[in-house]
Structure 1
Amino acid sequence: MPSFNSIIVENIIESIDVGIMVISPDGKIVFLNSAACEILNLEIEKHLGFGWGELFITDATSNAEFNQVILDVITEQKAGLKHVVPYTIKDRKCPKKLSITSSYLTEDDKIIGLVFLFEDITEIYNAAQREKKALSRNAELQKERIEGLDSLSQAVAHQVLNPTTVIGGMANLISRKLPQEDPLQLELKIISEEAMKLEGLVAAVKAYSNIPKPYPSEINTVELFNNARESANLILERTGEKIEMKLDCTVETITVGKRLFQAAIVELLLNASNFTPEKTTDVTVTVKRIEHTILIKIIDHGIGIEPHVINHVLDPFFSTKAKGVGMGLARVKKIVFEHQGKLDIESPGSGKGTTVTIELPCHDAECCSINNNH
């Protein structure tokens, strides 16, 4: 009569949906649970006691990866590893995807069996592949959209610039020919100013569409952000403003196009200054690695962004400033996209500051893995 403990173990093993197969040191299958039979299309009565080789190795090509995993464990003792392999069942059109984990069954420090755990991850694997394809296609569509928008922007900018230049030039020419006290001088001044605004808009559109492809190289992270702060402060000197930056960086280097990415950081710092009432803008910047992603956060304590506005701040030509063209953040978004990254802007609301988050892929996967293990 089986013991109470053995009954508990047997019931637990039979109730789980992970397949369990135990192979003796001489290659015989000595244990199978119901889940293993279902996953591998076996029957306990027919296959228990069989040599695994005569059961699974029917020819040179069938389930070769699956057989190699088991063979490596038996002959080379490569236990403790996890493998994902295809597994074909007779009369089934598409192979399954199995996750196989192996370990040893020991007694008195002697190996008495090899334990294999099987999980059918076909649906999970297929869903992940579908998601990967969808993300890849979305990236392609976004790239096509940006390239199409660039071409359109350049064409429109060219067509608008010529007549705008003529309008502004003619208004100035007529103004010089008329007496200063002539009533038309006011109207001509308005025409000239509006023409200059259009020229500025055209220049911003051309700059956006002409953003070059980055040529990434390994850059010292602290140096990059300090240079960006200095560049922003040189621009702000004219208005007596400046940026104080607190940098918390745990990533020694990042791989980016130096000038292009630094220009994006400068734009974000200037944007923080524009929406901070004080002459000195306090900005906190954090740079850290999370798994295979470099996470950059730029946090200001300015006037913040209203909820009804925040969904539009990255759109081209959107600006809450009276004289703004609205291309600054759009340029930053495009630069980040060219680095295969993501840009996000958050704000709790008016008067509560703004947080800009940039996610960049870590180009050194091995380095990322080492750092994540410590």
Structure 2
Amino acid sequence: MLLDELFLKTIFMHMPVGLAVMGEDGGIVTVNEAFERIFLMDAGQVAGKGWGELFLTDEKNPEFNQVILDTIARRANGIKREVPYFRDSGETLTLMLVSSYLERQGERAGMLVLIDDVTEIRKLADREKRLLAERAFLVREREEGVQKLAMCLAHQIRNPVLTIGGYANLLLRNADLAPSLRPRAEGILDGSMRLEELVKAVASFAALPSPSPLNVELESLLGSMISSVERYAAEQGKRLYVNNGSFPQCLLHVDPVLVQEALLFVGMNCVDFAKDDDVRVRVRYQFHEKKKQHVILFSDQGTGIASSDLPYIYDPFFTTKAQGVGMGLTSARRILREHGGELHVRSREGAGTFVAMHFPA
């Protein structure tokens, strides 16, 4: 028994968090070494003294004292709060308090208070929060700059491109055009049309608005997307087979127009990169409990993406399609990030592609 008591006392004294035990009269029975370090008091200074005598008369720390007062008033167990504590020297600590009211046969038996000095942890967390906020600001500032530049370029390029295309078209309508010049005029017209597609894609990307979130039914959102992709597949002379089962009833707080656009980019890619005219896609939903995220998952059996191409799939104008401008995934990822989410793509050439769209809950 003596060995057990010695063992428990050793644990008590050397715990990394402060611990104070008060008796039924409110006097402090014992404290450990961590308590002494936090409050710059030794056991001899506090033994037998009341908590009120040591702390409650200190007007600098009302939040700290309120935890103890609430524990007594409510006769509560496990009241837990993070509070500031101001030392006489002016130094400020951040303390995590856990206090419990102890009873024996309905009568007050004392109180137990755990005190964890989380000052450094809080400083690191605040610093990380500041850095993340600064980084987010710089990213937004850069994206806004790119948007403005893209809008200006799109506007400045569109008019000359339309003029070039118009003159090429007029040349081709001219019956007196020399046969040797016709292929060149056709090349100019094709090039101008391609440039016009690029300009439209840039303008569309630059004009993406900030999200206006609403509560949207998951099933409605995905059902609408699947219908649109089915029509797109039919226009390409393909058939879409979607294995999705049933979606749970849940609400996503998103901008329905923008998110529908992002979903369509992904769904249409499944059609474009199918190995044949039968497009097989699996669409699923998961809730990530730990990260508190809604996740929409796409997987197909298409041609996949070469490992050498994967690092560039989000880059503007990068595409391996015969027809396309390479802005789909760029826009989709931007839409998800504007919602506080993220887009992840995994793929293996010849074995299909897996896309995960994450949205905060």
Between the aligned partners of 2:53 and 2:250, the Cα distance in structure 1 is 55
Deviation at 1:27, TM superposition (A): 1.9
Which deviations, in whole Å up to 9, do the C-alpha atoms of 1:66-95 show, x marking residues without a partner? 1100111122223213211111222143x1
Q: Residue 367 of structure 1 corresponds to which residue in structure 2?
A: none
Within-5 A mapping of 1:118-197? 118-179=115-176, 182-197=179-194
The one of 212, 224, 230 aligned to 1:227: 224
Residues 250, 288 of structure 1: 8 Å contact kept: no
CA change 1:40–1:355 in 2 (3 A) is farther
Which deviations, in whole Å up to 9, do the C-alpha atoms of 1:267-293 show, x marking residues without a partner? 110112212213222222222333432
Amino acid across the alignment from 1:308: S
1:116 equivalent to 2:122? Answer no
Q: SS where residue 289 of structure 1 aligns? A: strand
Deviation at 1:251, TM superposition (A): 5.1
Aligned residues: 358
Which deviations, in whole Å up to 9, do the C-alpha atoms of 1:79-124 show, x marking residues without a partner? 213211111222143x111111122445456541211111111121
Between the aligned partners of 1:243 and 1:15, the Cα distance in structure 2 is 66
Residues 76, 101 of structure 2: 8 Å contact kept: no
Between the aligned partners of 1:250 and 1:124, the Cα distance in structure 2 is 39
Q: Residue 326 of structure 1 corresponds to which residue in structure 2?
A: 326
Report % sequence identity.
34
Amino acid across the alignment from 2:51: W
TM-score by length of 2: 0.93
TM-score by length of 1: 0.90
Deviation at 1:315, TM superposition (A): 1.4
Runs of 4+ in 1 over 3 A off after TM superposition: 104-111, 178-181, 248-251
1:99 equivalent to 2:120? Answer no
Q: Residue 299 of structure 1 corresponds to which residue in structure 2?
A: 299
Q: SS where residue 356 of structure 1 aligns? A: strand
1:34 equivalent to 2:57? Answer no
Deviation at 1:38, TM superposition (A): 1.1
Q: SS where residue 308 of structure 2 aligns? A: helix
Q: Residue 69 of structure 2 corresponds to which residue in structure 1?
A: 71
Between the aligned partners of 1:280 and 1:218, the Cα distance in structure 2 is 34
Q: Residue 44 of structure 1 corresponds to which residue in structure 2?
A: 43
CA change 1:301–1:124 in 2 (3 A) is farther
Residues 71, 79 of structure 2: 8 Å contact kept: no
RMSD value over aligned CA atoms? 1.9
Q: SS where residue 285 of structure 2 aligns? A: strand
Deviation at 1:180, TM superposition (A): 5.9
Between the aligned partners of 1:133 and 1:186, the Cα distance in structure 2 is 60
Q: SS where residue 309 of structure 2 aligns? A: helix
Amino acid across the alignment from 1:224: L
Q: SS where residue 100 of structure 1 aligns? A: strand
Which deviations, in whole Å up to 9, do the C-alpha atoms of 1:26-65 show, x marking residues without a partner? 32111201111112222101111111111112343x1111
Residues 243, 269 of structure 1: 8 Å contact kept: no
Stretch deviating more after TM superposition (81-90 or 151-160): 81-90
Deviation at 1:356, TM superposition (A): 1.6
Residues 250, 289 of structure 1: 8 Å contact kept: no
Which deviations, in whole Å up to 9, do the C-alpha atoms of 1:217-245 show, x marking residues without a partner? 11111121011000111122122213322
Stretch deviating more after TM superposition (198-207 or 171-180): 171-180
Deviation at 1:351, TM superposition (A): 2.2
- Give unpaired runs (5+ residues) of structure 2: none
Q: Residue 370 of structure 1 corresponds to which residue in structure 2?
A: none
- Give unpaired runs (5+ residues) of structure 1: 363-374
Q: SS where residue 352 of structure 1 aligns? A: coil
Deviation at 1:190, TM superposition (A): 0.5
Amino acid across the alignment from 1:217: L
Deviation at 1:203, TM superposition (A): 0.7
Q: Residue 369 of structure 1 corresponds to which residue in structure 2?
A: none
Amino acid across the alignment from 2:310: I
Between the aligned partners of 2:82 and 2:148, the Cα distance in structure 1 is 45
Residues 336, 343 of structure 2: 8 Å contact kept: yes
Between the aligned partners of 1:355 and 1:189, the Cα distance in structure 2 is 40
Within-5 A mapping of 1:237-252? 237-247=234-244, 249-250=247-248, 252=250
CA change 1:81–1:309 in 2 (3 A) is farther
Q: SS where residue 312 of structure 2 aligns? A: coil
Deviation at 1:324, TM superposition (A): 2.0
Residues 333, 343 of structure 2: 8 Å contact kept: yes
Which deviations, in whole Å up to 9, do the C-alpha atoms of 1:314-357 show, x marking residues without a partner? 1111111233200111111122122222222222x212322222
Q: Residue 14 of structure 1 corresponds to which residue in structure 2?
A: 13
Q: Residue 317 of structure 1 corresponds to which residue in structure 2?
A: 317
